[in-house]
Amino acid sequence: MIAQIRGQLIQKSPGLVIVEANGVGFQVYVSLNTFYDLPEVEQPVRVYTYTHVREDVLQLYGFSTLLEKEIFQILIGVSGIGPKLALNILSGISAPLLIRSLGSGDVNRLLSIPGVGRKMAERMILDLQEKVQKLESRVSLPPKSHLPRDEMTEDIVSALVNLGYKKGQAESAAEDILQQRPEIKLEEALKESLRVLAKS
């Protein structure tokens, strides 16, 4: 089992990176959240990895944090969720917010994740609610009173990234708008963020 790789990032694209360590290039599948956390190409990097072995296939899945790796391993324990779907889920929602959503049984939040239908969302809550509640006590999560704003920020950032903006730019624009106008609605906040980015 390869638990982590430390080396040089030699290739980086959404969903897939190559890390060279001791002359060996490791192909590692990553979530979008991990992709945006990684440094630029040719920079030193460390990724926590999960080794998936199936018949004659050996694949590495990488994570920028141990928390994301742990929730990935919890997800693939659910019937119907393989490594690719688990990675897709973690691309659509941050690990801390996924833990909060599962722990509170927030079906609607889970339904907003690409690839997750109602049956899958309900099965995830049924199978994982108790597990993530134990995990929740060990991680730093935003206070519940701040959750709606955190959800809105994540929705805005996701939409902007899909439109081609970099995650850092999108986060900065979204946070500025929500700080100035905390009661703003999602559609209006997205339009304001686009205006800000268009000027920069």
Q: Write out pLDDT tens, residues 83-118.
A: 999 999 998 888 888 888 898 888 888 888 878 889
Q: How confident is the model at residue 145, as a pLDDT?
A: 39
- Please state, in angstroms and rounded to a whole number, the distance separating the CA atoms of residues 39 and 48: 15
User: Does residue 58 contact residue 52 with C-beta atoms inside 8 Å?
Assistant: yes
Residue 18, SS3 per DSSP: strand
- Please state, in angstroms and rounded to a whole number, the distance separating the CA atoms of residues 189 and 178: 7
Q: How confident is the model at residue 16, as a pLDDT?
A: 93
User: Does residue 68 contact residue 31 with C-beta atoms inside 8 Å?
Assistant: yes
Kindly give, in sequence order, each residue whose CB lies less than 8 Å from that of residue 143, ignoring residues fewer than 6 positions away: none
- Please state, in angstroms and rounded to a whole number, the distance separating the CA atoms of residues 45 and 182: 36
Kindly give, in sequence order, each residue whose CB lies less than 8 Å from that of residue 43, ignoring residues fewer than 6 positions away: 8, 9
Residue 41 pLDDT grade (very low, low, confident, very high; cuts 50, 70, 90): very high
- Please state, in angstroms and rounded to a whole number, the distance separating the CA atoms of residues 140 and 182: 23
Helix (H) or strand (E) holding 133: helix 118-136
Q: How confident is the model at residue 138, as a pLDDT?
A: 59
Q: Write out pLDDT tens, residues 143-195.
A: 443 445 667 788 888 888 877 788 888 888 888 888 888 778 877 888 888 88
Between the alpha carbon of residue 48 and those of residues 67, 68, 88, 144, the distances in Å are 10, 9, 17, 29
Q: Scanning the structure block, which residue is given the tokens 């001791």?
A: 22
Percent of the chain at pLDDT above 70? 92
Q: How confident is the model at residue 11, as a pLDDT?
A: 93
Q: Choose among 92, 158, 161: nearest CA to 124.
A: 92
Percent of the chain at pLDDT above 90? 38
Domains of the chain, earliest start first: 4-63 (2.40.50.140), 66-136 (1.10.150.20), 144-199 (1.10.8.10)
Q: How confident is the model at residue 158, as a pLDDT?
A: 82
Q: Where are the alpha helices (DSSP H) in 140-185?
A: 147-162, 167-180
